[in-house]
Amino acid sequence: MTWNLRNFGQNGSPPIHRVAEIVRQLDVDVIALQEIVSQSAFETLLDSLDGWTGFRASPSSTWQELAYLYKDSLFVQVAPAYEIYVDEDRALPREPLVLELLADTLRIVLINNHLKCCGNGTIEDDPDDEETRREAASLLLQDYIQTQLPEQNVILLGDLNDEIDEPSERNVFQNLLEANDQFYFVTLALVQDTTQATYPHAPWFSFIDHILITTVLLDEWERSGHVETIRLDDMMDGYFGEVSDHRPVAMRLAFR
- In one-letter notation, the amino acid at residue 85 is Y
Is a pLDDT exceeding 90 seen at residue 29?
Answer: yes
Over residues 202-245, the pLDDT tens digits come to 988 999 999 999 999 999 999 999 999 999 999 999 999 999 99
Task: For residue 26, count other CB atoms closer than 10 A to its CB.
Answer: 15
Reported as a single tens digit per residue, the pLDDT across 105-120 is 999 999 999 999 998 6
pLDDT in tens, 174-209: 999 999 999 999 999 999 999 999 999 998 899 999
**Quick one: what percent of the chain has pLDDT higher than 70?**
96
% of the chain at pLDDT higher than 90: 93
pLDDT of residue 120: 62
At residue 67 the predicted structure's pLDDT band, cuts being 50, 70 and 90, is: very high
| Domain 2-252, second-level architecture | 4-Layer Sandwich (3.60)
Cα–Cα distance for residue pair 244/181, rounded to 1 Å: 35
Phi first, then psi, for residue 41 (nearest 5°) are: -65, -40
- Boundaries of every domain in the chain: 2-252
13 vs 242: which has the higher pLDDT? 242
CA 87/CA 159 separation, integer angstroms: 20
| Backbone CA torsion sign across 223, 224, 225, 231 | positive
The pLDDT value recorded for residue 119 is: 82
The pLDDT confidence band at residue 169, using thresholds 50, 70 and 90, is: very high
* E strand or H helix at 130: helix 130-148
- Give CA–CA dist 245/199, Å, rounded: 7
pLDDT at 123 over 70: no
For residue 113, CA distances in Å to 10, 105, 145, 213, 232 come to 20, 26, 14, 14, 21
Strands, DSSP E only, in the chain? 2-8, 30-36, 52-56, 65-71, 76-77, 82-83, 97-103, 106-114, 154-159, 183-185, 209-214, 226-229, 249-252
Mean pLDDT score, 130-139: 96
pLDDT of residue 12: 74
Q: Cβ neighbours of residue 126 under 8 Å, at least 6 residues apart?
A: 132
**Cβ 202 vs Cβ 168: under 8 Å:** no
Residue 144 has pLDDT above 80, yes or no: yes
Q: Are strands 226-229 and 183-185 parallel, antiparallel or unpaired?
A: unpaired
